[in-house]
Amino acid sequence: MESITFPEPVISLAIEPATKSDQEKMGLALNKLSDEDPTFKIKSNPETGQTIIAGMGELQLEVLVDRMKREFNVIATTGAPQVAYKETIKKYAEGEGKYIRQTGGRGQYGHCLLKVEPRGRGEGFEFKSEIKGGAIPSEYIPAIEKGAKEKLENGIMAGYPMVDVKVSVFDGSYHDVDSSEMAFKIAGSLGVEDAVRKADMVLLEPIMKVEVFTPAEYMGDVMGDLSSKRAQISGTEEKGGETVVYAIAPLAELSGYATKLRSLTQGRARAYVEPSHYEEVPAHIAAQIVAKSGKVEMARG
């Protein structure tokens, strides 16, 4: 039987129990809720120790936090929703990773030359060795792959996972005594960073499919509001006495949209929002996101 693959979360937020006694209850409640809903994910942030919950939209997370309070009696505070951006590259580039340490006794030596190429959207990470003639012994190749992959997963541009990249190691050198898996793992990490920084890095953002059901008299307001959110309106139709507006819009622009829509239409319109695909973030907005992340690399327009 073919396994079902569930879509990846596009939004996350930090959640903290109000008291010590809520801590254990919160863990049990979150596990139970994620068992019921495979699109709801729980992880912890290794840097802050915070629990992060992630899902397919703001409303889904609000409902789950509310259920935690009502059904499991867990009081928790939540942070602001965070959009699940991704990073990728747009062109071919080469880089070099060299990790050489010489202290008393045995040193460390790892050296590799890597090239990176963009892959199609959703094709993921690929690694290939093109080493010929033993420039790097084969037992060190997996360490180079691991170093490169981990570096990409942690992001280079703004700390978001870098996706859809093919990495190939094509040359390098080693030392009979000082080379080790650790040295080549570090060299792989340094080499892939060196390469992608020359490969026209861009940010990707989740784009949502939006359907708004509204009385006809509010259609102009609804469409105007959507347009202000970088939405692309694909069409409208009449359905059961209502007008349906079809659009796609970046998730980042839809924070608090349900509340805004209610106030815009005196509570008479409703919206259905679901993930559609990822698209490149406009350069001026990407620059702001990168600046907020504290990374020095600016998005290139």
Beta bridge partners of 130: none
3-class SS letters over 200-268: CEEEEEEEEEEEEEECHHHHHHHHHHHHCCCCEEEEEEEECCEEEEEEEEEHHHCCCHHHHHHHHCCCC
Could you say which DSSP state residue 28 is in? H
Residue 37 placed within a domain: yes
Residue 76 placed within a domain: yes
Residue 141 placed within a domain: yes
134: left (phi over 0), alpha (psi -120 to 50) or beta: left
235: left (phi over 0), alpha (psi -120 to 50) or beta: left
**Pair 115, 161 in one domain:** yes
Chain segment 229-253, per-residue pLDDT in tens? 999 999 999 998 899 999 999 999 9
Give which of 8, 117, 88, 7 is closest to 281, Cα–Cα: 88
Residue 155 placed within a domain: yes
The answer to whether 114 and 95 are in contact (CB under 8 A) is yes
Residue 127 placed within a domain: yes
Contacts of 283 (CB under 8 A, 6+ apart): 299, 300, 301
Place of tokens 């509340």: 259
Q: What is the domain range of residue 34?
A: 11-83
Q: Which of 56, 83, 110 is the last residue of a domain?
A: 83
Amino acid at position 149, single letter:
K
Give which of 71, 78, 82 is closest to 28, Cα–Cα: 71
Residue 34 placed within a domain: yes
Q: Which of 23, 48, 83 is the last residue of a domain?
A: 83
Task: Provide the residue-wise pLDDT of the chain in tens; the chain has 301 residues.
Answer: 555 566 789 999 999 998 888 888 999 999 999 999 999 999 887 778 889 999 999 889 999 999 999 999 999 999 989 999 999 999 999 999 999 998 777 889 999 999 999 999 999 999 999 999 899 999 999 999 999 999 999 999 999 999 999 999 999 999 999 999 999 999 999 999 999 999 999 999 999 999 999 999 999 999 999 999 999 999 999 998 899 999 999 999 999 899 999 999 999 999 999 999 999 999 999 999 999 887 654 434 3
**pTM to 2 decimal places:** 0.87
| Cα radius of gyration (the chain) | 24
The answer to whether 298 and 290 are in contact (CB under 8 A) is yes
Number of domains in the chain: 3
Stretch (H or E) spanning 287: helix 283-293
CATH code of residue 108: 3.30.230.10
Residue 195 placed within a domain: yes
**Pair 99, 158 in one domain:** yes
**Pair 120, 189 in one domain:** yes
Chain segment 99-134, per-residue pLDDT in tens? 999 877 788 999 999 999 999 999 999 999 999 989
Whole-angstrom Cα distance, residue 264 to residue 301? 35
The answer to whether 76 and 17 are in contact (CB under 8 A) is yes
Residue 61 placed within a domain: yes
CATH code of residue 49: 3.30.70.870
**Pair 187, 222 in one domain:** no
Separation in Å, CA 216 to CA 1, 50, 209, 241? 47, 45, 21, 8
